[in-house]
Amino acid sequence: MPSAFNFAASPFDCLDADERELVRRSVDIEYFREGAVILAPGQAPTHLFVLIKGHVQQWDGDEQQGSCGPDDCFDGRALVAGRASSRFVAAEEVVTYRLAREAVSALIASNATFGALLFADLSNKLGALAERSSQHELQSLTMARVDQAFLRPAHFVDGQASITEVARVFQAQRTTNVLVDDRASAPPRLGIFTVTSLPRAILHGTSLERLPVRELASFDLITVRPDMPLFDALALMIRHRIHRLVVAEGEGPARRIVGFLQQLDLLSYLSNHSYLITLQILQAESLEALTQPAGQITRLIGVLHRSGTRVGMIARLVQEINATLFERAWQLIAPPELVAHSCLFVMGSEGRGEQLLKTDQDNGLVLRQGWTPPPGLDLQAVCDRFSAALADFGYPPCAGGIMVSNPAWRHDERAFARRVRHWLLEPTPDHLMALAIFLDAHPVCGDATLLHGLREQVWTFASDHAGVLARFAGAVDAFAQHGSGWWSRILGLGEGARDQLDLKKAGIFPLVHGVRSLAFEHRLTETGTVARIEALMARGHLEPRLGTELIESLHFFMGLKLQAGLQEIEKGRPATSGITVERLSSLDRDLLKDTLAVVRRFRAHLHHHFRLDML
pLDDT tens, position by position, 80-89: 778 888 899 9
- CA dihedral for 161, 165, 168, 170, sign (positive or negative): positive
State percent of the chain over pLDDT 70.
Answer: 87
Dihedral angle sign, alpha carbons of residues 159, 160, 165, 167: positive
Query: Where do the DSSP E strands lie in 474-573?
Result: 500-502
Residue 212 carries which DSSP code?
Answer: B
pLDDT bucket at 497, cuts 50 / 70 / 90: very low
Average pLDDT for 154-162: 94
Question: What is the C-alpha to C-alpha distance for residues 544 and 547, in angstroms, rounded to an integer?
Answer: 5
Give the confidence band of 223 by pLDDT, cuts at 50, 70, 90. Answer: very high
pLDDT at residue number 540: 95
φ and ψ at residue 529, rounded to 5 degrees: -65, -45
- Cβ(601)–Cβ(546) under 8 Å? yes
Strands 342-346 and 47-53: unpaired
Q: Which helix (H) or strand (E) holds 179?
A: strand 177-182
pLDDT digits 0-9 by tens, 550-568:
998 999 999 999 999 998 8
Per-residue pLDDT, 346: 96
Q: Find the helix or strand (DSSP H, E) in which 60 lies.
A: strand 56-60
Q: What is the pLDDT of residue 364?
A: 97
Whether the predicted pLDDT of 582 surpasses 80: no
Distance CA 596, CA 509 (A): 12
| pLDDT at 496 exceeding the cut of 50 | no
- pLDDT tens sequence across 308-357: 778 888 888 888 889 999 999 999 999 999 999 999 999 999 999 998 99
Give whichever of 54-58, 190-194, 237-241 has the largest mean pLDDT: 190-194
Whether the pLDDT of residue 418 is over 90: the answer is yes
Contact yes or no for 328/284 (Cβ under 8 A): yes
How confident is the model over 429-441, as a mean pLDDT? 92
Rounded Cα–Cα distance for residues 61 and 38 (Å):
15
Q: What pLDDT does residue 145 have?
A: 84
**What is the CB-side half-sphere exposure of residue 510 using CA atoms within 13 A?**
29
Per-residue confidence at 484, pLDDT binned at 50, 70, 90? very low
Judged on CB neighbours under 10 Å (0-12, 13-18, 19+), 239 is exposed
Higher pLDDT, 77 or 362: 362
Residue 284 has pLDDT above 80, yes or no: yes
DSSP state of 383: H
Closest residue by Cα to residue 153 from 285, 254, 299: 285
Kindly report, residue by residue over 2-11, the tens digit of the pLDDT: 447 888 877 8
Confidence of residue 186 (pLDDT cuts 50, 70, 90): confident
Give the span between the Cα atoms of 209 and 230, in whole angstroms: 39
**Mean pLDDT (whole number) for 97-112:** 88
In this prediction, residue 478 carries a pLDDT of 81
Does this model's pTM top 0.85? My answer is no
pLDDT at 69: 79
The pLDDT tens digits for 244-254 are 999 999 887 77
Q: Give the span between the Cα atoms of 166 and 160, in whole angstroms.
A: 10
Q: What is the pLDDT of residue 585?
A: 65
**pLDDT per residue as tens digits for the range 356-405:** 999 889 999 999 999 988 888 999 999 999 999 999 999 999 988 999 99
Residue 193 has a pLDDT of 95
4-63 pLDDT, tens digit per residue, is: 788 887 788 888 889 999 999 999 999 999 999 999 999 989 999 999 999 898 888 887
- Find the helix or strand (DSSP H, E) in which 245 lies: strand 244-249
**CB–CB of 558/565 below 8 Å?**
no
pLDDT of residue 85: 85
Q: What is the mean pLDDT of the chain?
A: 85
The answer to whether 504 and 578 are in contact (CB under 8 A) is no
**Is 494's pLDDT higher than 60?**
no
Q: H helices of 353-477, where? A: 379-392, 413-425, 429-439, 448-463, 468-473
Residue 500 has pLDDT above 80, yes or no: no
Give residue 6's pLDDT.
87
Q: What is the pLDDT of residue 131?
A: 39
Report which of residues 518 and 488 the model is more confident about.
Answer: 518
* Main-chain dihedrals φ then ψ at residue 33, nearest 5 degrees: -75, 160
Closest CA to 388 of 317, 441, 333, 465: 333
pLDDT for the residue 139: 41
Which pLDDT belongs to residue 339?
96
- Dihedral Cα 50, 55, 59, 65, nearest 10 deg: 90
pLDDT tops 60 at residue 115:
yes
- Tell me the pLDDT band of 132, cut-offs 50, 70 and 90: very low
Q: Which residue has the higher pLDDT, 551 or 69?
A: 551
Helices (H), 69-135: 76-81, 101-110, 112-118, 120-132
Residue % of the chain over a pLDDT of 90 = 48
pLDDT at residue 12, as a whole number = 87
**CA distances for 595 relative to 43, 588, 601, 608, angstroms:** 32, 10, 10, 20
pLDDT band at residue 491, thresholds of 50, 70 and 90?
very low
Confidence (pLDDT) at 280: 83
